[in-house]
Amino acid sequence: MRTRRALLAVAPLLAACNTGIDPQRPIEDFWPFTILTIVKMVIVFTVYMVGVALLTFAERKISAWIQDRIGPNRVLWKGVGQVLADGVKNFMKEETYPAAAYKALFILAPALAFVPAMVTWAVIPFAAPLPTPWGLMSMTVADLPVGFLFTLAISSLGVYGIVLAGWSSNNKYALLGGLRSSAQMISYEIAMGMSTVCVLLLAGNVNLNTIVQQQATQGWNVILLSLAFLVFFIATYAETNRLPFDLPEAESELIAGYNTEYSAMKFSMFPIAEYANMVTASALTSLLFFGGWDIPFTTWDNVPPWSALKTLLTLGAFATKMIFFLFTFMWIRWTLPRFRYDQLMSLGWKVMLPAILAYVVLVAAVLLGLDAAGIARESRAFTGILFALNFACVALLLVVLDRGRLVSPAASRLRTAELSRLRAVAARSTLAATQGD
């Protein structure tokens, strides 16, 4: 009886859904498109913010486990409520303004750090398209044709928040943090952009969905362009200001860097932006190099006809990859010590940039050669040749480059001959004569 009444209630809804539009073709009508986009925005934003909040909890837990501790475990079930407790704490705290701060920018800066981190997510495709009664809905908030360029453009805006926070605080440590952040971002953005050029060369398109589809047919970029992946991976750590590249914060040198003078929710915006950037970076890593929402070793999930089941499974695949990279972010943070500033700069400019430039030229030449030789992009030979090339490059990296040359400790830059020459100079100096040993 009750089921029949429920069916009667649903029936008009079902009738309304029967629009007669082919669900496998993209949505064309204005109103369904607008409403569905707004729904997507709300859902994505909510999931994103809750995810970021939970990430702060995950970070604390993972750091605790790595250090043989237990971590927050008192609030609600197993300490999950810590997220809420921290949020409430941040809202209740007093907002302080340094007397000498440039107040307008001081208030604006956290928002400037926060907004780009949120906006980037708009173009990330997180699952296979979903068929609806009004047509095929792409699982991206905004399926821009220039999707990837958009993420690059917006993510580099985030540095303004940090620099302005550092400058407007009128505090030397904050200013140094802001300066470091801008120098670091500029240095690594170049290497990051170059590493993605390889991916774009292979995909022939900057739409992120197209890049995913290309990887589904050719194999994931991580096994075809490992070097580009490595450079991109390292650069994302520098871009998100995560250890081992968190020099803008560097609490042992700069107190807390750019956010020294911030308190309460304005302070909290910076960590939120950082975690949001981490989520975006993880999403981009999995999109560009690990096939995005592609389920590995199968092809059925990448081809029409689309269905809700496919959407759900590919969403699961994408989430799994992303969570893995988010975990790696934390794993690396609690493993590696922070770089020295000169190491950071020399790694960025002297190692990663030349290496990736050479690699881009190499990849471009090989792709041109293969296209000229008439080898089809989808063929096994094409993938095989790229894989062999990649294998050679990785071997080169491990054998030649990574021999005390990637990151220089204080010791290994000088050759022994040079060292003894310098020591001889020091021994002959007048200081040695007057002061003794």
Partner 1 sequence: MAITVKVLERPIEEASYLRATLGGMARTFKHMVNPHKVTVQYPEMRDPVSPRWRGTHRMLTTETGAAKCVACGLCPTVCPANCIKLVPGEDAKGNRYPLVFEIDEFRCIFCGYCQEVCPEEAIHLGRHYENAEYSRAGFVYDLERLTAQTHPVSQLWDPTDPAGE
Nearer to partner 1, 67 or 320 (CB): 67
Write down the least CB distance from residue 423 to partner 1, Å. 7
Write down the least CB distance from residue 387 to partner 1, Å. 20
CB atoms closer than 10 angstroms to residue 339: 21
Write down the least CB distance from residue 429 to partner 1, Å. 6
Instruction: Name the pairing type of β-strands 130-132 and 135-137.
Output: antiparallel
Residues 226-245 that bind partner 1 (CB under 8 A): none
Sign of the Cα torsion 276, 288, 331, 359 reads: negative
Nearer to partner 1, 336 or 381 (CB): 336
The answer to whether residue 319 forms part of the interface with partner 1 (CB under 8 A) is no
The answer to whether residue 419 forms part of the interface with partner 1 (CB under 8 A) is yes
Nearer to partner 1, 282 or 311 (CB): 282
C-alpha span between 408 and 339 (Å, rounded): 10
Cβ–Cβ under 8 Å, residues 136 and 24:
yes
Nearer to partner 1, 70 or 361 (CB): 70
HSE of 424, CA atoms in CB hemisphere, 13 A: 6
Q: Which of 12, 305, 374, 436 binds partner 1 (CB under 8 A)?
A: 436
Write down the least CB distance from residue 328 to partner 1, Å. 9
Residue 90's contacts (CB-CB under 8 Å, 6 or more residues apart) are: 264, 265, 267, 268
Residue 303's contacts (CB-CB under 8 Å, 6 or more residues apart) are: none
Cβ–Cβ under 8 Å, residues 128 and 311:
yes
For 337, the token pair is: 């010590």
Residue 331's contacts (CB-CB under 8 Å, 6 or more residues apart) are: 62, 66
- Decide: residue 128, CB within 10 A, 0-12 exposed, 13-18 middle, 19+ buried: buried
Name the phi and psi angles at 291, rounded to 5: 75, 10
Size of the site for partner 1 (CB under 8 A): 35
Nearer to partner 1, 262 or 339 (CB): 339
Write down the least CB distance from residue 51 to partner 1, Å. 21
The answer to whether residue 392 forms part of the interface with partner 1 (CB under 8 A) is no
Write down the least CB distance from residue 116 to partner 1, Å. 30
Q: Which of 3, 18, 252, 416 binds partner 1 (CB under 8 A)?
A: 416
C-alpha span between 332 and 244 (Å, rounded): 8
CB atoms closer than 10 angstroms to residue 310: 22
The answer to whether residue 404 forms part of the interface with partner 1 (CB under 8 A) is yes
C-alpha span between 72 and 57 (Å, rounded): 8
For residue 132, the SS3 value is strand
Write down the least CB distance from residue 58 to partner 1, Å. 12
Peptide bond into 354 cis (omega under 30): no
- Convert residues 42-81 into a mask of x (bound to partner 1 by CB under 8 A) and - (unbound): --------------------x--xxxxxx-----------
Nearer to partner 1, 299 or 412 (CB): 412
Nearer to partner 1, 305 or 436 (CB): 436
The number of angstroms, rounded, from the C-alpha of 379 to the middle of its chain's C-alpha atoms is 31
Write down the least CB distance from residue 416 to partner 1, Å. 6
The answer to whether residue 435 forms part of the interface with partner 1 (CB under 8 A) is yes
Residues 146-185 that bind partner 1 (CB under 8 A): none
Residues 321-350 that bind partner 1 (CB under 8 A): 331-332, 334-336
Nearer to partner 1, 50 or 419 (CB): 419
The answer to whether residue 7 forms part of the interface with partner 1 (CB under 8 A) is no
The answer to whether residue 417 forms part of the interface with partner 1 (CB under 8 A) is no
The answer to whether residue 426 forms part of the interface with partner 1 (CB under 8 A) is yes
For 205, the token pair is: 């398109």
User: Which secondary-structure segment (H or E) carries 136?
Assistant: strand 135-137
Choose the binding region for partner 1 from 81-89, 210-218, 248-256, 412-420 (rule: CB under 8 A). Answer: 412-420
Helices 103-119 and 147-155: angle between axes, nearest 10 degrees: 160
Write down the least CB distance from residue 62 to partner 1, Å. 7
Cβ–Cβ under 8 Å, residues 409 and 347:
no
Q: Where on the chain is the footprint of partner 1 (CB under 8 A)?
A: 62, 65-70, 331-332, 334-336, 397-398, 402-404, 406-407, 409-412, 414, 416, 419, 423, 426-427, 429, 431-432, 435-437
